Amino acid sequence: MHYFSTNRRSPHASFRDAVLNGQPDDKGLYFPSEIVSLTHDFLDELHDSANEKIAFDVIRPYVGGEIPDDELFEICRQTVDFDFPLVELTDSISALELFHGPTLAFKDVGARFMSRCLRYFAAQRKQKTVVLVATSGDTGGAVAAGFHGVEGVEVVILYPSGKVSNVQELQLTTLGGNVTTLELHGTFDDCQAIVKRALADDEIRSRHHVTSANSINIARWLPQQFYYFYAIKQWSGRPPVISVPSGNFGNLASGILAHISGLPVKKFIAACNANDVVPRFIRTASYEPRPSVATISNAMDVGAPSNFVRILEIFEHDFPFLINKLEADSISDETTAATMREVYAQCNYILDPHGAVGYRALADHIERHPDEKGIFLETAHPVKFDSVNEIIGTAGEVPAQVADLLTKQKQSTPVENDYDEVRKVLLSKL
């Protein structure tokens, strides 16, 4: 297994080099040279297999032997050592809860897997590794927790000022140690553009080995396949429709990759908020990124989703093939809030704003196709979002890790939306 750039102007890379590089020199994204085909035995045994074994079997071909099997199995065990319950809300809709990890968000899986891979690779290197990450909310907290205290690794997080919730901000800004947080006066797209530019900056790269922990990194992206397998492990009946709250599209891309590998899924729905570049693409076959707009589902406020190119690669840029397997919907803030109130009243279930977008897109699909059933991804705990209490009057029981966070003080460095200013800060800290 090797990895090529989606721009096809950079040399092929091994798994190790793709993880350490983060992004190819030509500013594309790494993509595997082949999509793994799952065996019938693997799929037949899925319902009875332990989660860590499923993770190991799924990821092992993509690692290509660059981490010994015993080490890789332990990495997988540590990555998925929490629950991924499938909760039935109605006769036709179930929620896959992905918020039972340490930072209460689905990003924990990719961040934990990547941090442990980097720890293994760092132990073989003398040069410090610097991890750069842009976040619209949950990624930064998961990366900060996953990498905190990892020897030989420094983490620098950029997040858009005023555009993440209070709990998300505290998760980003209270660890200290090897984690530095920059509070940028701009949008997530601005943060992402600066990180990509810094990854290609020769002077920064000459100081230390620099990589990214966004889902552009294959070690963040590929393990997100795991919980789709855990969903089907708990499912019975015909293959489900799966609705994925989508912002930067790494999560959806990994689910589609799992499906093309053999996981039985009827169809995927890209559930978007007002940032509707992909729903417009599905309607028109024209891909036109736009500046992002702020919504209550803030982690999905992405106007130029990096990972959509990986979805195009999976479908070999065949538009009819793509729209046969993928539909997309754009859900307004008003409809999102109404959905949260409706589901709480009817099901006594608290949705976060992102899960509400996923639920609504799925419910609308099933209304058009009443013989189908499906799963939506509940990607983060509702207590992480200030809007939940404002909309339905409660965010549920406060988990212990959040209660502890609320006693801590934020520590961040404010920066303007200017690459040269951020670059100076990076160079002073690296």
What does pTM read for this prediction? Answer: 0.90
Per-residue model confidence (pLDDT) at position 254: 98
Per-residue model confidence (pLDDT) at position 52: 98
**Hey, where are the domains in the chain?**
83-106+221-396
CA R_g for the chain: 20
Local confidence band at 69 (pLDDT 50, 70, 90 cut-offs): very high
Query: How many other CB atoms are there within 10 angstroms of residue 260's CB atom?
Result: 15
Between 297 and 126, the more confident residue is 297
Per-residue model confidence (pLDDT) at position 337: 98
Instruction: Identify residue 57 by its one-letter amino acid code.
Output: D
What CATH class does 83-106+221-396 carry? Answer: alpha beta
Instruction: Identify residue 149 by its one-letter amino acid code.
Output: G
Lowest mean pLDDT among 94-108, 112-126, 169-183, 386-400: 112-126
Residue 125 clears pLDDT 80, i.e. is over it: no
Catalytic sites, residue numbers: 107
Q: What is the pLDDT of residues 169-213, one digit of tens each?
A: 998 899 888 899 999 999 988 998 999 899 888 888 888 788 888
Q: 166-173 and 138-147 helices cross at what angle (nearest 10)? A: 30
Greatest distance between any 2 Cα atoms in the chain: 59
Residue 93 clears pLDDT 80, i.e. is over it: yes
Q: Nearest 10 degrees: CA dihedral of 62, 99, 345, 244? A: -20
